[in-house]
């Protein structure tokens, strides 16, 4: 989708603001959100739920506010919980009820396994259409759903730099309730001069794209 | 376990929403308090850019490790015990005198958590994400990094399942240093590609 | 430029909010800004100055705040007045000094002439490259300056629907201090299905583009 | 002369900036108070959608005028004395039983001032500008306008110097009405293309 999250090449966002000695989490609630997200599974549309926040809301809220909005929406849409449960909990919290405590060694173990090296399943898919060095063009048309193809590349000419083993295309996975469609994907190289008509020295941009995003 | 959430009543809208969400997930049995605590603890105390710095220093002193790192970043991380979410596939791109690399995720904030930890706020924010693919030299200059004329510049936009780390060049004047001392020169920003290690610097 | 103003096809802006019996100006200051803009000439970069406001500021301020920001910037950049004069006037106003009054029949007459039918100068330009019915492709690369070519068309195929007599291309006029480069321009028709991969019935979009924006 | 600016001390940031700008323009001799007053007066009292409505009604009752309007909108406006800024070139696009037209300016808010006046806030705002080129049927439905299946739909994005006005279809049941009465049915929204005239309606 053509959302405010698709920032590559956009102008008017000003200077980069840095912070010295930044902690992992600036507030305890940020850590809770991070921990809840990694230690649970509330649905397949994590990123797409962020992208549907609303453009101005997205641009004027923080990273972990994006996560919070995503988990709330994703969880309701996937059926992990209901909006009514969320509203009731919010009312309880506002009235001073403490967050319940649940201790469960298995949930801990699962979460920590995710944070350690682990083998990943392989995926079967049709053989890749493109080979190293092939010239390709990025698909021009925007889809209404989640896409891992940044808008600044639409219609641009590039060259296949690497061919990767099949992985489920996230465009489908996020938008269609977790449907797994394995597909070849590629690292594609672009010349900045093919993307923008800007002055100054050129550079190269490398982007990982699934076969869906590319035309021969 | 930090458990700091147990000690303060939620006040801001963000704290209230977080507490409500945690309540629902706990009631539904979708998460446990101690699992959240454990994840927070890992990111506050174990997972961070010191991991990546150790890999970089090893690559500087051990040519065989450097080759393994460039061939398969996730496998090279696993040699140190690093790995997992947002690091299942890692590609290491190497700076040379002719070529500088810098990493971004324009669509969200993809980042190799197991070896660099939580990304800094600027990495996740619109100015960096919008600008570094389009005007990387101006962005690097804002970070104090002026590349010599003629240096090729590659920007890696992590748009899929692969995460990137930059292998910077070992700075001049570090011949006598140990691997640990070398790791101390490698900052997070060096591994994103917005800085380069300096012999006199100490990594944050 | 790839600014937040370039809204066509973007998603996440929510429902259209309408107002019954809307007045031309909601506040007196809006009328003053409108009147000042039409009755004066502070520089050639009116729209480009709006576009350079900053993306989030643009999206979170009103139409006449855009005009105000534009006149302030455009006037300073063109040399019509200085930032110091503006700052001094702001300080005076804040301290309670009244806005000075100047009465001038000639300025009134010029302004009202602009608001009445008047003949426009013609422009000489090379003969148009394209003819009615020609298939064209919109240029793919974004320029860093002002552009009258909306981003949603970049790289898209279209058909010439009308050929118009030359006019100065605004991309150059606004970005290069009022430089006049007359050029043929066209109304170009596009099929929505060539622009977006959305479900639902198709429609057509017609856009006026200068020759610079088109490839054969 | 409305002169309301003379009677209230600026208070909001917008009022203060406006007063400062007016001060500088007056001091520099770039504008006069009475010229600003005159422009405001024109837009508050003379220039507005009633102008366009008169042209539409004329086109409904006078086939020769309709042809002139479709051939050159600015010349047809000048017959009524309408014209000037943001209306130097006007194109009138005609609705038919097979074809509906709707107008937008996605990049800014271009609009045929001399015949429609100041555009409404919604026309100038991100929701309309972003959506109507991409999902015009959904937008029209929000305005209460459901087009019959099979109606072709054309969206005109005023991206250059040409301004657009829609010539709607004369509604059924208006045979006995005078030109003035017909003009009373033509709302601003009908001429943007987000509504169609109804025999029973009265234009705002």
Which residues in chain D have their CB less than 8 angstroms from residue C89's CB?
Answer: 19-21, 23-24, 27
A56·C58 Cβ contact <8 A? no
Q: Average model confidence (pLDDT) for chain C?
A: 96
Q: Where are the domains of chain D?
A: 13-192
Largest alpha-carbon pair distance within chain B?
60
Residue C17 buriedness (CB in 10 A; 0-12 / 13-18 / 19+): exposed
Instruction: Work out the pLDDT band at D203, boundaries 50, 70, 90.
Output: low
Interchain contact D/B (3 or more Cβ pairs less than 8 Å): no
**Which residue in the block uniquely carries the two structure tokens 């104090």?**
B144
Q: What pLDDT score does D4 carry?
A: 44
Residues B160, A210: C-beta atoms closer than 8 Å = yes
Contacts of A140 in chain C (CB under 8 A): 155-156, 194
What pLDDT score was predicted for residue D1? 40
Q: Which of B2, B23, B142 sits opposite A99 (nearest CB)?
A: B23
Contact flag A56-C13 (C-beta cutoff 8 Å): yes
Yes or no, beta carbons of B16 and A117 under 8 Å apart:
no
* Contacts A14 to C, Cβ<8 Å: 54
Residues of chain A with CATH 2.30.30.50: 135-215
Q: Does residue B22 sit at the A interface (CB-CB below 8 Å)?
A: yes
Q: Say if CB C17 and CB D127 are below 8 A apart.
A: yes
Chain B nearest-CA residue for A171 = B160
Separation of alpha carbons D158 and B191, rounded Å:
47
Which of A53, A56, A144 comes nearest C59 by C-beta? A56
Among all residues of chain B, which has the CA nearest to that of A24?
Answer: B118
Alpha-carbon gap, residue A160 to D204, rounded angstroms = 59
Percent of chain C with pLDDT over 70: 100
Which residues in chain D have Cβ-Cβ distances shorter than 8 Å to C199? none
**Does the beta-carbon distance from B38 to A108 stay under 8 Å?**
yes
CA gap B184, B188 in Å, rounded: 11
CATH class as words, domain D13-192 = alpha beta
Q: How many CB atoms lie within 10 A of CB B44?
A: 16
Tell if the CB–CB gap between C144 and A196 is shorter than 8 Å.
yes
Chain A partners (3+ C-beta pairs within 8 A):
B, C
| C12 to A60: CB separation less than 8 angstroms, yes or no | no
Mean pLDDT of chain A: 96
- Token output for D164: 């657009």
Which residues of chain A are within 8 Å of residue C197 when distances are taken between CB atoms? 141-144
Written in H, E and C, the secondary structure of B58-126 is HHHHCHHHHHHHHHCHHHHHHCCCCCCCCCCCEEEEECECCEEEEEECCCCCCCCHHHHCCCCHHHHCH
Distance to chain A for C75, nearest Cα, Å? 20
Is D190 catalytic? The answer is no
Q: Two tokens at C119?
A: 């003949």
Compute the C-alpha angle C79/C84/C88, nearest 5°: 130
Tell me if residue D92 is catalytic.
no
Would you please indicate which residues of B are annotated as catalytic (active-site) residues?
105, 108-110
As a three-state string, the secondary structure of chain D is CCCHHHCCCCCCHHHHHHHHHHHHHHHCCCCCHHHHHHHHHHHHHCCCHHHHHHHHHHHHHCHHHHHHHHHCHHHHHHCCCCCCCCCCCEEEEECECCEEEEEECCCCCCCCHHHHCCCCHHHHCHHHHHHCCCCHHHHHHHCCCCCCCCCEEEEEECCCCCEEEEECCCCCCCCCCCHHHHHCCCCHHHHHCCCCCCCCCCCC
Do D5 and C10 lie within an 8 Å CB cutoff?
Answer: no
Q: Which residues make Cβ contacts (< 8 Å) with residue D28, sequence separation at least 6?
A: C80, C81, C85
Residue D108 has a CB neighbour count (10 Å cut-off) of 20
What's the distance, CA A35 to chain centroid? 17
Its pTM stands at 0.95
Q: Is D35 near chain C, with CB under 8 Å?
A: yes
Six-digit token string for B54 = 């150790």
Across the interface, whether the CB atoms of C107 and D35 are under 8 A apart is answered yes
Q: Is A149 on the interface with B (CB under 8 A)?
A: yes
Residue numbers of D between 147 and 166 with CB closer than 8 Å to C: 152-162
Residues on chain C touching A59 (C-beta within 8 angstroms)? 55-56, 59
Tell me the chain B residues in contact with residue A116 when contact means C-beta distances shorter than 8 Å: 81, 83-84
Query: Looking at chain D from residue 48 to 107, which residues have their Cβ under 8 Å from any Cβ of chain C?
Result: 48, 74, 77-78, 81-85, 88, 104, 106-107
Q: Which of D2, D32, D108, D130 is catalytic?
A: D108
Token code pair at residue B183: 């790791």
Neighbours of C, requiring at least 3 CB pairs below 8 Å, are A, D
Q: Hey, are the CB atoms on C156 and A142 less than 8 Å from each other?
A: no
A184: contact with B, CB 8 A cutoff:
no
- pLDDT tens for C33-77 read 999 999 999 999 999 999 999 999 999 999 999 999 999 999 999
- pLDDT confidence bin for D48, thresholds 50/70/90: very high
pLDDT 10s digits, C173-215: 999 999 999 999 999 999 999 999 999 999 999 999 999 999 9
User: What is residue B7's predicted lDDT score, i.e. its pLDDT?
Assistant: 54
How far, CA to CA in Å, does B161 sit from each of A41, A160, A168, A209, C69?
Answer: 18, 17, 10, 10, 42
> D180 in contact with C at a CB cutoff of 8 Å?
no
pLDDT digits (tens, 9 = 90+) for D135-188: 999 999 999 999 998 999 999 999 999 999 999 999 999 999 999 999 999 999
**Is D108 considered catalytic here?**
yes
CB contact under 8 A, A99 and B5: yes
Across the interface, of D20, D35, D44, the residue whose CB is closest to C90 is D20
Whether the CB-CB separation of C152 and C169 falls below 8 Å is answered with: no
Q: Of A13, A94, A112, which has the smallest distance from its Cβ to B38's Cβ?
A: A112
> Residue B149 above 90 pLDDT?
no
Across B47-57, average pLDDT: 98
| Nearest residue to B88 via CA among A164, C150, C213, A8 | A164
pLDDT at B203 over 60: no
Q: Do C6 and D107 touch (CB under 8 A)?
A: yes
pLDDT in single tens digits along all 216 residues of chain A: 999 999 999 999 999 999 999 999 999 999 999 999 999 999 999 999 999 999 999 999 999 999 999 999 999 999 999 999 999 999 999 999 999 999 999 999 999 999 999 888 899 999 999 999 999 999 999 889 999 999 999 999 999 999 999 999 999 999 999 999 999 999 999 999 999 999 999 999 999 999 999 998
Class of domain C135-215: mainly beta
Residue B2: predicted pLDDT: 43
Is the CB of residue A7 less than 8 Å away from at least one CB of chain B?
yes
Q: Which of B15, B32, B4, B30 is nearest to A90 (CA)?
A: B15
CB pairs under 8 A between A and C: 101
pLDDT score for D2: 43
The helix (run of H) or strand (run of E) holding residue C65 is: helix C63-78
Q: Report the distance separating Cα C7 and Cα C140, nearest Å.
A: 17
Burial of B97 (0-12, 13-18, 19+ CB in 10 A): exposed
Report the gap between the CA of D175 and the closest CA in chain C (Å): 28
Q: C121 in contact with D at a CB cutoff of 8 Å?
A: no
Assign B7 to helix, strand or coil.
coil
Judge whether residue D32 has pLDDT over 60. yes
Cβ separation C15–D155 shorter than 8 A: no
pLDDT at position B4 = 44
Which pLDDT belongs to residue C142? Answer: 86
pLDDT at C112 over 80: yes
Min Cα distance C98 → chain D (Å) is: 8
β-pair partners for A164: A185
Which one of 3.90.1520.10, 1.10.1040.10, 1.10.472.20, 3.20.20.80 gives the CATH number of domain C28-115?
Answer: 1.10.472.20
**pLDDT for D200:** 76
Between chain A and chain B, are at least 3 CB pairs below 8 A?
yes
Residue of B nearest to A117 (CA): B83
Mean pLDDT across chain B: 94
Q: Which residues of C touch D24 (CB under 8 A)?
A: 75, 81, 85-86, 89
Residue in D closest to C71 by C-alpha: D21
């Amino acid at each position: 989708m053509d959302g405010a999250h698709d920032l590559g090449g956009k102008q008017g966002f000003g200077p980069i603001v840095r912070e010295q000695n930044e902690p992992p989490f600036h507030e305890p609630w940020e850590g809770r959100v991070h921990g809840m997200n990694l230690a649970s599974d509330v649905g397949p549309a994590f990123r797409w739920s962020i992208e549907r926040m609303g453009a101005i809301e997205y641009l004027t809220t923080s990273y972990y506010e994006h996560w919070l909005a995503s988990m709330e929406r994703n969880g309701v849409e996937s059926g992990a919980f209901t909006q009514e449960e969320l509203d009731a909990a919010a009312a309880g919290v506002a009235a001073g009820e403490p967050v319940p405590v649940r201790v469960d060694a298995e949930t801990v173990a699962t979460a920590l396994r995710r944070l350690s090296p682990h083998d990943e399943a392989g995926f079967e898919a049709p053989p890749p259409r493109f080979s190293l060095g092939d010239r390709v063009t990025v698909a021009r048309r925007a889809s209404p759903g989640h896409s891992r193809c940044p808008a600044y590349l639409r219609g641009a000419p590039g060259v296949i730099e690497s061919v990767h083993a099949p992985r489920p295309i996230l465009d489908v996975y996020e938008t269609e309730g977790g449907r797994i469609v394995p597909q070849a994907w590629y690292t594609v190289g672009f010349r900045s001069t093919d993307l923008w008509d800007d002055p100054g020295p050129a550079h190269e941009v490398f982007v990982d794209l699934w076969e869906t995003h590319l035309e021969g | 376990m930090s458990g700091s959430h147990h000690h303060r009543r939620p006040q801001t809208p963000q704290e209230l929403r977080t507490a409500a969400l945690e309540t629902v997930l706990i009631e539904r049995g979708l998460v446990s308090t101690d699992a959240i605590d454990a994840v927070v603890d890992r990111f506050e105390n174990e997972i961070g850019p010191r991991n990546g710095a150790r890999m970089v220093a090893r690559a500087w002193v051990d040519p065989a490790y450097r080759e393994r790192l460039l061939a398969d970043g996730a496998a090279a991380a696993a040699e140190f015990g690093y790995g997992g979410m947002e690091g299942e596939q890692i590609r290491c791109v190497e700076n040379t005198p002719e070529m500088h690399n810098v990493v971004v995720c324009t669509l969200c904030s993809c980042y190799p958590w197991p070896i660099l930890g939580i990304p800094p706020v600027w990495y996740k924010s619109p100015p960096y994400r919008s600008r570094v693919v389009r005007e990387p030299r101006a962005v690097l200059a804002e970070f104090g990094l002026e590349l010599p004329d003629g240096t090729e510049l590659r920007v890696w936009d992590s748009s899929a399942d692969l995460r990137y780390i930059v292998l910077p060049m070992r700075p001049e004047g570090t011949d006598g240093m140990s691997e640990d001392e070398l790791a101390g020169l490698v900052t997070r920003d060096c591994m994103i590609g917005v800085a380069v290690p300096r012999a006199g610097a100490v990594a944050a």
